[in-house]
Chain A
Amino acid sequence: MKILEVNDVVKIFKTKGGNVRALNGVSLDIDEGKTVGVVGESGSGKTTLGRLIVGLINPDTGSISFEQRSIGSKVNIRHPDIRGKIQLVFQEPSESLDPRIKVGDSICEPLRGLGIEKSSWNSKLKIVSEKVSLAEEQLSMYPSQLSAGQQQRAGIARALITDPKLIVLDEPTSALDPTARAEILSMLQDVQKEFGVSYIYISHDLSTVRYLTDETAVMYLGEIVEFGETSKIFSRPSHPYSTGLLSSILLPDPEIVMDESLELSGEIPSPINLPKGCFLESRCPISTKECSSHHPDLITSDDRLVRCFEVEKMKDIVQPSSKFEDFDKSFDDFMTKRYSSSVQAGNN
C-alpha cells in the first residue's frame, strides 16, 4: 500500500538575489515498510523535499498526501490526525535535542503533544532506547555529554517513540564517523524490520544509500533525474549524473580501480538562473545540441525512469559494474579466512 504520494511539487524560495527554484516538479511514491533513498549534491533540493513531506513548508504547486490525506500548511506533522505518524530526523544530531534537557526527557517530548499519559512514558522510553542501544545512564545525561553517534541515536529514539509510520531521515549520518554511521544504519534496518516503518533516506553518501534503501531517486537541481530500484541503479546507472556520482565513490580497496568512463566536470550551477535545456548540460560529457535547447522529460527506460535524451547511448557507454558486490565479497572472503585463522590462533 502507498503510504506517501508526492505529486509534481514545485517549491520556489524568493530571496534577495532572485527566485531560488529549489524543487521543479518532483513526484515520488513510497510503499509501507519500504525505504526510498534521495541522493544528490548539496543544493539539489533534498532537504526541501524532506521538509515539504513533513509539512514544515508548503509546495507552491503540486500536492503531497500521506495515507490518502493531503498534507499542507493546515495538515502537517503537528496536526492531530497525523501527529506522531510522520517524524523527521535532522542532519545535526544536536538540532533535535535541547542542550538543557536530559536526553531521556527529550526523547519523551513528542509524547506530550500526543496527550499520552505520563505513566506509560517510561515503558515506551525503555523500548525505544533499547532499540537504539542507549544505556539507561545515558538517558539521564545532557546531550553534550554524549558522543555525536549517541546523540543521533537519541534523535532517532525521539522519532521512534510515537510509533511513526514514516520517518524522513535527512542525512542522519553525515556528521558521524564511519563506524558510528554503520551502527546507526544497521540499527535503522532492525527498527524497520520490527516496526514496519517506512523511511525516506536523504543522503549524499551513496554507499549508505545502497545499503539501506529499496528504491533510489537521484536528484539534480530540484529534479529527479533517475529513479528506480537501488540495486539496478547501482549496478548500471542510466543517467550521466548518476553515473558520475557513482563512479566518484571510492571503496577502501586500492585494487578496485576508479571507473573513468564518464566524468562530470565543474560544479552545480546556481538554482536562480536555471538553464533552458537540460540542467546538467554544463557538466555533461556527452551533451548534444538538443541538450542545450530542450529540457528532457522523465521517461521510462526499461526498469526505471530517466531524464536524459541520450539514454540509449548511455547503455553503450556504461557497462554493468559490480564494484560494490566485488568489494563486499572479497572483504567477506578475506574476513572469513582471517577470522577462522585467528580463532585457531586463539585456541592454540
Chain B
Amino acid sequence: MTDSISLSLNNLTVDYPGYKGSGTIAVKDVSFSIEKGKVLGLVGESGAGKTSIARAITRQLVEPGEITAGEIIFENKNIVSMSQKELRKYLGSQISLIVPNPKSELDPLLTIGRQLGDVVKTHLKLNNKEAREAVLKVLEAVQIPDHNSRYSAYPHELSGGMAQRVIIAMSLICNPKFVISDDATSGLDVTVQREIMKLMQNIIKEKDLSVLFITRDIGLAAHFCDHLGLLFRGQIVEIAPINSFFKNPIHPYSLALLSAFSHSVKWRKVYSTDPQKWSKEFFINGNVPDSMIEVEKGHLVRMIR
C-alpha cells in the first residue's frame, strides 16, 4: 500500500441476504483506489449499488445488508474489521459523508448550529464557545448567507440548496481527509446544483480532499472527477482516468449510457444496457466475466480478451 492512496476497496461484496428469496448481492467484487487529493466518480443507474458502497464504507448498511467479503483500507487500516468504537473516531472526522435529500437527513428537532456543534464537540473535544466559533466559520465557508442568524435555524426553515450546504458544512467541519458524496445534488435545481458543485470544487482544491463522488449523472461526473468508474448491477464494468474514459470508452454499457445522453437512437440500438445483447467478450455463459483487462494505463474494462 503506497502512501499516495487515501482509500481503497479490495473486492468488496455487499449482500442483502434473504431479501426476495435467495438474497441480492448489491455490490460484487468491487475494487478501486482513490489517490490523495483526487476525485473518483462512481456512476451507475438506480439500484446499481452506489449507495450500498457508500454505506459499506461508513459501515452503516441498512438491515439486513452486510459486507460479506473484501476490505476497505483507509490510511492502511481496514475499516471492515474495525471495532465500532474505533470506527466512530473516523466517521465524521476523517471520513465524512454528504447525503442526498438533505432535509430528511437532518434532525428536524434541533437547530443546525446544534447539530454541527455536536459533531465538532464529539470529535475535536471543543467547549461550547469554541464549537460555536467553528460552526460559524464553516457555515461561512459554505457560503450560507446570513450565517449568524442561520445558526439557530431549524432544518425545515431552509431551502433544499441551503440544507445541502449545511450537509456539506457538516462533512467539512472536522477537516476530514476523505469525503463521500452520494448523489449530493440530485434533488436540486440545475442552477443551484451548479453553484453547489462550484463550491465543492473550490473546497476540494483548497483542502486537498480525496473524494468518492457518487452520482447518476455522467455529465456531472465528466466535469467534476479525475477518475470515473461505471457501476452496473453491483460490478464495475469500466474504470479509467477521466480523459481516457471519455476518449476511449470500451464497454457496451458505457457506450449505451453515453448514447442516451446524446439522444442518438441509432447508437442506442447498437449499444444496449441489456447484457444479453453485448458481444461475447463482455457477457459469456449468462455472466459478465470476472476479469478486468487493462486497455490503457489505469483504464480497466470488465471483459475477456
Direct touch of chains A and B (CB < 8 A): yes
A-to-B contact residues, CB < 8 Å: 41-42, 148, 177-179, 181-183, 185-186, 204, 206-208, 211, 244-245, 247-255, 258, 263-268, 327-328, 331-332, 335, 338-339, 342, 346
Chain A residues with CB under 8 A of B259: 182, 331, 335
A42 touches B222 (CB 8 A): no
- The CA of A265 and the CA of B217, in the complex, are separated in Å by 22
B161 touches A267 (CB 8 A): yes
Main secondary structure of the interface of B (DSSP, over half): helix
Of the candidates A178, A182, A332, the one having the most CB atoms from chain B within 10 angstroms of its own CB is A178
A245 touches B222 (CB 8 A): no
- The CA of A279 and the CA of B268, in the complex, are separated in Å by 41
Given contacts A178-B260, A331-B262, 4 further A-B contacts (CB under 8 A): A148-B46, A181-B260, A248-B194, A263-B194
Chain B residues with CB under 8 A of A186: 263, 265, 268
B189 touches A178 (CB 8 A): no
B121: shortest Cβ distance to chain A, in Å?
30
Known: A178-B218, A179-B260, A335-B259. A253 touches B190 (CB 8 A): no
B191 touches A264 (CB 8 A): yes
A206 touches B159 (CB 8 A): no
Known: A331-B262, A338-B255. A183 touches B195 (CB 8 A): no
B288: shortest Cβ distance to chain A, in Å?
17
Chain B, range 32-67, C-beta contacts under 8 Å to A? 45-46
B223 touches A258 (CB 8 A): yes
A146: shortest Cβ distance to chain B, in Å?
14
What is the 8 Å Cβ interface bit string for chain B, positions 163-195, against chain A (1 contact, 0 not)? 000000000000000000000000001111111
B-to-A contact residues, CB < 8 Å: 45-46, 145, 159, 161-162, 189-195, 216-223, 242-243, 246, 255-265, 267-268, 270, 273, 279
22 contacting pairs across A/B (C-beta < 8 A): A41-B189, A177-B216, A178-B218, A178-B261, A182-B263, A185-B263, A208-B263, A249-B219, A250-B222, A251-B261, A252-B218, A252-B219, A252-B246, A253-B246, A255-B246, A267-B189, A267-B192, A328-B263, A335-B259, A335-B264, A335-B267, A338-B255
- The CA of A104 and the CA of B46, in the complex, are separated in Å by 25
Chain A residues with CB under 8 A of B159: 267
Chain A residues with CB under 8 A of B270: 335, 339
Chain B residues with CB under 8 A of A204: 189-190
Chain B residues with CB under 8 A of A346: 279
The 7 closest A-B pairs by CB, nearest first: A182-B260, A250-B219, A177-B45, A248-B190, A41-B189, A248-B194, A178-B260
B222 touches A335 (CB 8 A): no
A248 touches B45 (CB 8 A): no
B222: shortest Cβ distance to chain A, in Å?
5
- The CA of A245 and the CA of B191, in the complex, are separated in Å by 6
B258 touches A252 (CB 8 A): yes
A35: shortest Cβ distance to chain B, in Å?
14
B262 touches A327 (CB 8 A): yes
B193 touches A178 (CB 8 A): no
Chain A residues with CB under 8 A of B195: 263, 265
A249 touches B222 (CB 8 A): no
- The CA of A263 and the CA of B193, in the complex, are separated in Å by 12
Chain A residues with CB under 8 A of B263: 182, 185-186, 207-208, 211, 328
A328 touches B222 (CB 8 A): no
Which residue of B is nearest A270, CB measured?
A: B159
From A179, A254, A263, contact of B242 by CB (8 A): A254
Of the candidates A250, A252, A264, A328, the one having the most CB atoms from chain B within 10 angstroms of its own CB is A252
Which residue of B is nearest A329, CB measured?
A: B262
Chain B residues with CB under 8 A of A42: 189
B98: shortest Cβ distance to chain A, in Å?
18
B190 touches A245 (CB 8 A): yes
Chain A residues with CB under 8 A of B256: 179
- The CA of A332 and the CA of B223, in the complex, are separated in Å by 20
Which residue of A is nearest B270, CB measured?
A: A339
A179 touches B223 (CB 8 A): no
Chain B residues with CB under 8 A of A268: 189
B191 touches A250 (CB 8 A): no
Known: A267-B192, A346-B279. A328 touches B264 (CB 8 A): yes
- The CA of A338 and the CA of B251, in the complex, are separated in Å by 11
A251 touches B190 (CB 8 A): no
Of the candidates A208, A268, A331, the one having the most CB atoms from chain B within 10 angstroms of its own CB is A331
- The CA of A129 and the CA of B159, in the complex, are separated in Å by 41
Known: A181-B260, A331-B264. A248 touches B255 (CB 8 A): no
A93: shortest Cβ distance to chain B, in Å?
13
B246 touches A254 (CB 8 A): yes
Chain A residues with CB under 8 A of B261: 178, 182, 207, 251-252
Which residue of A is nearest B143, CB measured?
A: A265
Known: A178-B218, A248-B193. A328 touches B262 (CB 8 A): yes
Chain B residues with CB under 8 A of A267: 159, 161-162, 189, 192
Of the candidates A41, A181, A335, the one having the most CB atoms from chain B within 10 angstroms of its own CB is A335
Known: A41-B191, A267-B192, A268-B189. A252 touches B264 (CB 8 A): no
Chain A residues with CB under 8 A of B268: 179, 182-183, 186
